[in-house]
Amino acid sequence: MDQNEEPPNEDHNTIEAVSSAATPVELSTHEATAPVLRAIDPEARGIIHGDGIEGVRRLAAASVHLIASDIPYGISADDWDVLHSNFNTALRGASPAQAKAGAVFKSRGKPINGWSEADRQIPKQYYDWCSNWAADWYRVLKPGGSAFVFAGRRYAHRCICALEDAGFSFKDMLAWMRGRAPHRAQRVSIVYQRRGDLEAAQRWEGWRVGNLRPTFEPVLWFTKPYKIGTTIADNALVNGVGPYNEAAFLRYVTRPDNILDIGYEPSESGLHPMQKPVRLMQALIEIATQPGQLVLDPFAGSGTTLLAAQAVGRAFLGFETNDRYVEIARTRLKRNRPAMR
């Protein structure tokens, strides 16, 4: 047996193929005997209403050409973002000022000053959460295949370590330049003015609490190692992945570098708090895959990755737990489905 092959799955409770060109695909994630997606139809098109971590565990080994996902960043109190064991007291509002701010404070995320032991555990908890699914991502990806991960600036390093420990190679960090970047940095002088300490206010004029404007988001580029003793050219012939398509990439950017200055189209927003431009995801899909190959997004949200894959002629499969986002994704995919020839 080839070292890249895995023993066949003896579980007979399987779904042999997934194809949802006309109807939604449903996958139970609650039963112990939930089906296994052993083989994926090359024409697979769909979003599964279910847990992406459990769903990927039911996919066949080496069945996916590309994983592209905007995973939860673990930095806010939104239920879609904090999926790991986060006991962060800062997000719960520990001071009178935070309590007064309420939801506004919570939505802004955690100040990184380690107020409590629980706060200091968050980076490790995020690593543990990423490790919970990283090995399955590695298993389902074809040798030489890529995984593009939006992981957020604060804990990206923990995501990198988790995927490296699962077997991935960390290829590069791309920088997506955001066209819209909210900047929340309170002026320290205002705090002192409200306290009536004008001397301190004058001394600290021009100083702020918070971060610089977040004008870029890291896009982590991982690859799955291919068979030892072969070249990437050999692997491309066997698995159909490995090299990157510079010609296709240059349709979206002016230079083949790791700065992605790809903005939103008019009115392309409002469907999800972390919605990405469709053209951005198209660029990532086209640089790493060929037409007809399968793109997987385990955290599909409102379906932008899937919509991008559909637009450039790739098969796609996504998972999403939120009812509303699943319906939004299905509506977008149906509305933009290419006409059958």
Quick: pLDDT tens for 283-292: 999 999 999 9
CB atoms within 10 A of CB 221: 21
Question: Which fold would CATH assign to domain 14-179+215-335?
Answer: Rossmann fold (3.40.50)
pTM (2 d.p.): 0.80
pLDDT of residue 226: 97
pLDDT in tens, 55-72: 999 999 999 999 999 999
Q: What is the pLDDT of residue 71?
A: 94
- What CA–CA distance (Å, rounded) separates 299 from 152? 14
Instruction: State pLDDT tens for residues 118-168.
Output: 778 888 999 999 999 999 999 999 999 999 999 989 999 999 999 999 999
Left (φ > 0), alpha (ψ -120 to 50) or beta: where does 248 sit? alpha
| 240 phi-psi bin (left φ>0, alpha ψ -120 to 50, beta other) | left
Asked if pLDDT for residue 108 goes beyond 50, the answer is no
CA distance 110 to 68: 26
For the residues of 280-319, what is the DSSP string, one character each? Answer: HHHHHHHHH--TT-EEEESS-TTSHHHHHHHHTT-EEEEE
Q: Where are the domains of the chain?
A: 14-179+215-335
Structure tokens at 146: 């890529």
